[in-house]
Structure 1
């Protein structure tokens, strides 16, 4: 586990590192006034990121601040909320509610743990989720995504680590980390570069981050649904999840496979369209108890 760069950020006590990325560190902290845990995200750019992508330190800092301001504008039960945006030692940071875990701790990690960040070394190995639980997580995530798509935003980094859960196995989704969001008419996305997480990234996003639409997030939703249901990532030539899990409804099988289509026009156009198809599937599974 990496050592926290700070013992204190503003008034907040720093307890441990939750996650360290190329542009920021996320800490478990403690608010002495409210006497409760919080999550603290502080801008700490790493040289490896500056070398990898042609963005300046100032550009990354603007993204970080924009990320915080975006979270402050989205009031949604399945999107992480923002409590404060401030500066500490000339570095911007923001404060969020502390959320217990993320989807990786429920569905497990894929492949060798050596490829995962140090803070994920205690996550379990890959496993399947029940059909009902998979659908519930998909539904809540798509609901959160609809708040982005409705504003003309593309998240561009939908993956299990960004799906926070208030509790393991039965917790509610809190979508986080919109640092790679594509804003309408943004000039910061460059052609010829891709951002995101390779296992969940749409083919067109891997070609270029500049021109992606909401359908790129739908692709990631489809991959996540397949992975939760089957217990491993789709690779090579593969059949729908129903081939491995008989309990998967035909409509769900079709929705996931279309969402993962390399042909963008076959996918639901945005998260609201995805939800419209998923809602009756979810309702039927709930009636039947999964």
Structure 2
């Protein structure tokens, strides 16, 4: 067994990438230190690249080895342990001093937010994000600056990043079923819908920012989205100088690559479509990509079409809201749902006349049946009911409830 030089996860000797953080494990320069690896920015579960934006020398206090258990951050969060590092900072599990409750603290290196304006932007984004209260979004409790490093105190959850789970499936040569992928995406869309309602666009949605709570199935998945608003706030001065977008370009909408301020809900849905495709197919859609149903019998063509629209370079051609995307996905997996959710209503007068005629017919029939005949009718009726019964058809209705008929 070998060990990842970045996150120290135990890995097979022949591993080329770390399944937890995506760090490349081969062809590393001989003098590449752990600090150099930690400064790399993971852009997907399969590759790691150095950030293109130069940063200042890091504050020694931001070195994960320097912040030891027992360190008090902002005089109120007692660090227990380092639980991860990425392109936008180091994350620690800590305990809030007053409530004695567990929290996750993300410390963003000063080099990522190098101006007062950028720090203020981060704080403003944090205040807005703090208003999102949804089970599919990690709650933000507090945001501030400690030792020149912005920090975010958020809900602590025990989970697994989506890219780690997906890589583990690939290692075992296991496919992600289309419906399991759909359950994961549905939960992501639920969280995005709540965020977009508060005017918050994620801008950097990717598998690393989606936490799985438990094992997803064809019937259920539980996810938490993290890092809302951080992509726009970090390195703000570089964005203003260059006019380029922020976030992870492998999952980023074309208009956002050109200008981060052009991102709207449709930009997040572009990222969702890339994640959806990658879950089903195992690779990202690039160039002339094949529809997800190629070689897969469990992917309806309606899902092909939804992903195709979601990946349109023209944002007006994509679904325009998370609710719209979710409804199209549910209808794609359950074609009969669209007719069930929009039944035509009969004229009230005609319904009353029909009910009256039916009741009169039942009355005449009941009078003609002798008393002993009721037992025979009930017995044969039960036999017939079991004989012609069909398996239940289950689907999501228009209100996102799972129903069977």
TM-score normalised by the chain length of structure 1? 0.78
Gaps of 5+ in 1: 51-55, 110-122
CA distance in 1, matches of 2:167, 2:213: 17
Which whole-Å CA distance do the structure 2 matches of 1:203 and 1:5 have between them?
40
Query: 2:205 matched to 1:158?
Result: yes
- Identify the range of structure 1 (228-237 vs 83-92) with the bigger mean alpha-carbon deviation: 83-92
| Pair 1:15-2:81 in alignment | yes
Q: Which residue of the partner structure matches residue 25 of structure 1?
A: 90
In the alignment, what sits opposite 1:102? 161
RMSD: 3.3
Unpaired segments ≥5 residues, structure 2 = 1-6, 8-37, 39-63, 338-392, 396-405
Deviations 1:44-98 (A, max 9, x none): 222xx46xxxxx4223322332343233211111010123445544544332222
Q: 1:187 to 1:198 in 2, by over 3 A?
A: closer
The separation in 1 between residues aligned to 2:323 and 2:210, in whole angstroms, is: 18
Matching residue within 214, 227, 248 for 1:197:
248
Give distance in 2, aligned partners of 1:268 and 1:274.
6
Conserved 8 A contact 2:162-2:208 = yes
Partner of 1:62: 120
In structure 2, distance between residues paired with 1:12 and 1:71: 24
Q: Tell me the equivalent position of 2:225.
A: 175
Q: Deviations over 1:157-201 (max 9, x none)?
A: 110001112234465111110134669xx9996473111111101
- Aligned ranges 1:122-161 → 2 under 5 Å: 128-161=175-208
For residues 211-222 of structure 1, what are the structure 2 equivalents within 5 Å?
211-222=262-273
Q: Counterpart of 2:293 in 1: which secondary structure?
A: helix
Structure 1 distance, partners of 2:171, 2:102, is 25
For the pair shown, the structure with the greater C-alpha radius of gyration is 2
Change (3 A) 1:280 1:254: same
Indicate conservation of the 8 Å contact 1:12/1:29, yes or no.
yes
Describe the SS at the equivalent of 1:234: coil
Q: How many correspondences in the alignment?
A: 266
CA distance in 2, matches of 1:233, 1:87: 37
**Deviation at residue 249 of structure 1 after TM alignment:** 1.4
Q: 1:223 aligns with which of 248, 252, 274?
A: 274
3-state SS in 2 of match to 1:73: coil
Residues 124, 156 of structure 1: CA spacing in aligned structure 2 closer, same or farther, 3 A cutoff? farther
CA distance in 2, matches of 1:164, 1:248: 24
- Which structure is richer in relative contact order (CA contacts within 8 A, separation 6 or more)? 1
Q: Is the 8 A contact 2:201 2:228 kept in 1?
A: no
